[in-house]
Structure 1
Amino acid sequence: MFDRKINRILVTLILTFGLVYLIYLTRFIFEPVSAYLAAIAVPIIGAGIIFYVTNPLVDWLEKKKIARIWGTLIVFFLILLVLALFVLFIAPTVQGQFTNFTDSVPKMVDSTEKIIDMWQERQFIIPQQVEDTINNILDQLGNSADVITAGIINTIGQVFSFVFSFFLIPFFLFFMLKDGHKFVPFITKFLKPTQATSFKKLTSEVNNTLSSFIQGQFIVSICVGTMLYIGYLIIDLNYSLSLALFGLVMNFIPFIGPFLSAVPAVIVGFFQDPIIALWAIAVMVVAQQIESNFISPNIMGRALSLHPLTVITLILAAGGIAGFLGVLFIIPAYAVVKTVIAHFYDEWKKRQPEDDTPIL
């Protein structure tokens, strides 16, 4: 019995590696397919995220005897209303703050140079290595305006390259909200009863995993962004709205996101007034303590049950491969893969004879 189990595992591994190698050899065949998938990935992922945020409202309206099509249209109206309010009231402020920030970069560089000069005047001798490091930092700061400008141009180019894809998001979202509940029954019609049961269980587990993460993280991020904005207003931090929105987006990245969002706030606060930089750190610490001890446990709990080291490793790998979008999407993607593997492993265990001798 032990030998048969070992043989099954070895055969499975050999077939798996053989399949992967075959796909590698014939990868040119899949290039058109991969290009097509890359083209529709952005609208599908974007629509999927909005779907998990808005679908509970459509379900609630359906329970109130409102047809699903009308519930979907109501959700679209609310989305358009939120976008209109953002464009009218928030976007102009953010644009003005961003323009002021780019204009103030040269002043920040001058202030840094003055601080370094004052420090040099008070020192009798500076080690050559330290002096070279300081000069290198000053050179980099001097070029920071050009770097920011180039980054803005590059970002604008990327935005325009995705504009067409984003126009498809409402199309996908409409049919997800209207007909998403029909997907599982449609697929199960072509499956055997046992397969249909397994498929329903799998889709339910994946749906629960994604909804727990996306809905919970959305609510938590809104709460954190609001707390940061109120705190930044209290300490009179410049660019408070833009920095709070940045903190809101970064909070979607577990563990690392809050630290990343603190960096620009502390830098801006330091050049405004070193005391304000300390207050910015205090605001961030208070917001994160409230989030981690009160908000997240009640909203998200331990929905994904991921170890912090696993999260950090995934984020670093995804950032190196796919950039910022990879960092945002790697955690829910990993959670889905983990759920799928766990499901099929449980199904495999159920098919094993009860008297099998365990491998370990």
Structure 2
Amino acid sequence: MTSKLWFQAGIGTILALIIIRLFIEVQAIFDPLFIIAQTIFVPLLLGGVLFYLTRPILYFLERKKFPKWSAILIIILLIILVFWLLYRMIGPIVTDQVNALVENGPEIIENTEGYIQYLLDQRDRLPTSVEEQLNGVTEQFGARAAGIGTWVLSFLTSFISGLFTLVLVPFFLIYLLIDHRKFVPFISGFFSGARNRWIRKTMHDIDQTLQAYIQGQLFVSFLVGIMLLIGYLIIDLDYALLLALIGMATNVIPFLGPYIAVVPAVIIALVQEPIMAVYVLIVMLVAQQIESNFITPNVMGNALDVHPLTVITLILAAGNIAGLWGIILAIPVYAVIKAIAKNIYARRQEIGHTVVKDVE
């Protein structure tokens, strides 16, 4: 019985739960480690994203016989050049649109409150159950609005802290570019024979999964931002570039990104001209259909092969557990776990076939 997969999985689950329980009981001992992990999490994540974006350039330069130090220096200079060009090209436009949005903020808020009040005035025409739910939402909104000052202060504090943290990003990127080839040999060096080969293959599959997701998702988000910008310019929407950048940024959130991006665009459209909200929805729908049916399948292919229902479930669960970061990281983490599980299954199948052959 001990050789059965279900028995081993059950014992492993029980041991994992015991370890988690013990970890919770002595959590205070690990508080310094949590603080360190929280400090380096964002710069390490951003450094990892830049690493996967720039590693092909490193390999290209190395094939051209560039020394590693000069190749890395060229990559750093290219990153600085790209950010500088972006700043020169869109920085002034975005700044002007942000300033205009701030100046028109009171009017936008007033108009938005007018639309909300109009909807609230229609409560008497709604069924009692719907009216009760609407009253509950209104009370929650009011309670959160009352604490907006605290939220803004917390956001500004986090933003300033984040700026200092971002200084670490180039250091993580440089060390990843220098030493990334040493990681797999270091991990696999603890094993030998078939296990060593299995570790190497599993790490390679994880690496390819992360590369496909990061490069593909960012490229898709860029194309979505371009499509939104073109659409917003066609319908002459105010703050078109700023709203397109918001759509580009939120598109990194699977499934929920487009719905988040359409909210500020619809609010701006309603203030500008009510019919513009319909045009915004049409632009978003067209861009989303092109992205989901043509761009994503051709850019990312079957690299992740995650069912849409699985995506929704993962996002909702991860959002409740870890908030925004959980939503952003749910799919790549799931893809990595899936790659590990597939390699474990393949390894067990290989062992099973070997045992059968030995018996024969």
- Secondary structure at 1:42's aligned position in 2? helix
Match of 1:208 in 2: 208
> What is the CA-CA distance between 1:225 and the residue it aligns to?
0.4
Whole-Å Cα distance in 2 between the matches of residues 296 and 10 of structure 1? Answer: 38
Structure 2: which 5+ runs fail to align? none
> What is the CA-CA distance between 1:203 and the residue it aligns to?
1.0
Whole-Å Cα distance in 2 between the matches of residues 266 and 318 of structure 1? Answer: 27
> What is the CA-CA distance between 1:352 and the residue it aligns to?
3.5
Residues 1:289 and 2:289 aligned together: yes
Whole-Å Cα distance in 1 between the matches of residues 213 and 65 of structure 2? Answer: 28
Match of 2:303 in 1: 303
Contact residue 210 and residue 332 of structure 2 kept, 8 A: yes
Q: 1:237 to 1:352 in 2, by over 3 A?
A: same
Q: 1:126 to 1:259 in 2, by over 3 A?
A: closer
Contact residue 220 and residue 295 of structure 1 kept, 8 A: yes
> What is the CA-CA distance between 1:265 and the residue it aligns to?
0.9
Residues 1:318 and 2:318 aligned together: yes
Match of 2:160 in 1: 160
Q: 1:197 to 1:182 in 2, by over 3 A?
A: same
Q: 1:320 to 1:157 in 2, by over 3 A?
A: farther
Q: 1:192 to 1:79 in 2, by over 3 A?
A: same
Match of 1:198 in 2: 198
- Secondary structure at 2:292's aligned position in 1? helix
Amino acid at match of 1:175: Y
Deviations 1:98-137 (Å, cap 9, x if unpaired)? 333233233234435666899999x9x9789879969x96
Query: Residues 166-315 of structure 1: matches in 2 within 5 Å?
Result: 166-315=166-315
How many pairs were matched up? 352
TM-score normalised to structure 1 length: 0.84
Whole-Å Cα distance in 1 between the matches of residues 332 and 289 of structure 2? Answer: 24
Amino acid at match of 1:87: Y
Deviations 1:236-255 (Å, cap 9, x if unpaired)? 11111111011001111122
Residues 1:55 and 2:70 aligned together: no
Contact residue 237 and residue 269 of structure 1 kept, 8 A: yes
> What is the CA-CA distance between 1:205 and the residue it aligns to?
0.4
Residues 1:75 and 2:75 aligned together: yes
Whole-Å Cα distance in 2 between the matches of residues 330 and 272 of structure 1? Answer: 37
Q: 1:18 to 1:87 in 2, by over 3 A?
A: same
Whole-Å Cα distance in 1 between the matches of residues 199 and 327 of structure 2? Answer: 29
Whole-Å Cα distance in 1 between the matches of residues 64 and 330 of structure 2? Answer: 36
Match of 1:340 in 2: 340
> What is the CA-CA distance between 1:256 and the residue it aligns to?
1.5
Match of 2:44 in 1: 44
TM-score normalised to structure 2 length: 0.84
Whole-Å Cα distance in 2 between the matches of residues 94 and 158 of structure 1? Answer: 22
Match of 2:35 in 1: 35
Q: State the percentage of identical aligned residues.
A: 39
- Secondary structure at 1:224's aligned position in 2? helix
- Secondary structure at 2:83's aligned position in 1? helix
Deviations 1:185-218 (Å, cap 9, x if unpaired)? 3443443132321111011000010001000011
Structure 1: which 5+ runs fail to align? none
RMSD of aligned residue pairs (Cα, Å): 3.5
Amino acid at match of 1:332: P
Deviations 1:141-191 (Å, cap 9, x if unpaired)? 9x96x8776654432211122233211110010111122123223443443
Which stretches of structure 1, 4 residues or longer, exceed 4 Å deviation after superposition?
6-10, 112-121, 125-134, 136-141, 146-152, 353-356
Q: 1:55 to 1:120 in 2, by over 3 A?
A: closer
> What is the CA-CA distance between 1:257 and the residue it aligns to?
0.9
> What is the CA-CA distance between 1:355 and the residue it aligns to?
7.7
Contact residue 217 and residue 252 of structure 2 kept, 8 A: yes
Whole-Å Cα distance in 2 between the matches of residues 172 and 21 of structure 1? Answer: 33
Q: 1:138 to 1:270 in 2, by over 3 A?
A: farther
- Secondary structure at 2:302's aligned position in 1? coil
> What is the CA-CA distance between 1:274 and the residue it aligns to?
1.8
- Structure 1, 275-284 or 314-323: larger mean CA deviation: 314-323
Contact residue 108 and residue 268 of structure 2 kept, 8 A: no
Contact residue 251 and residue 258 of structure 2 kept, 8 A: yes
Contact residue 120 and residue 126 of structure 1 kept, 8 A: no
Whole-Å Cα distance in 2 between the matches of residues 85 and 96 of structure 1? Answer: 17
Q: 1:208 to 1:28 in 2, by over 3 A?
A: same
Q: 1:183 to 1:97 in 2, by over 3 A?
A: same
- Secondary structure at 2:236's aligned position in 1? coil
> What is the CA-CA distance between 1:342 and the residue it aligns to?
2.5
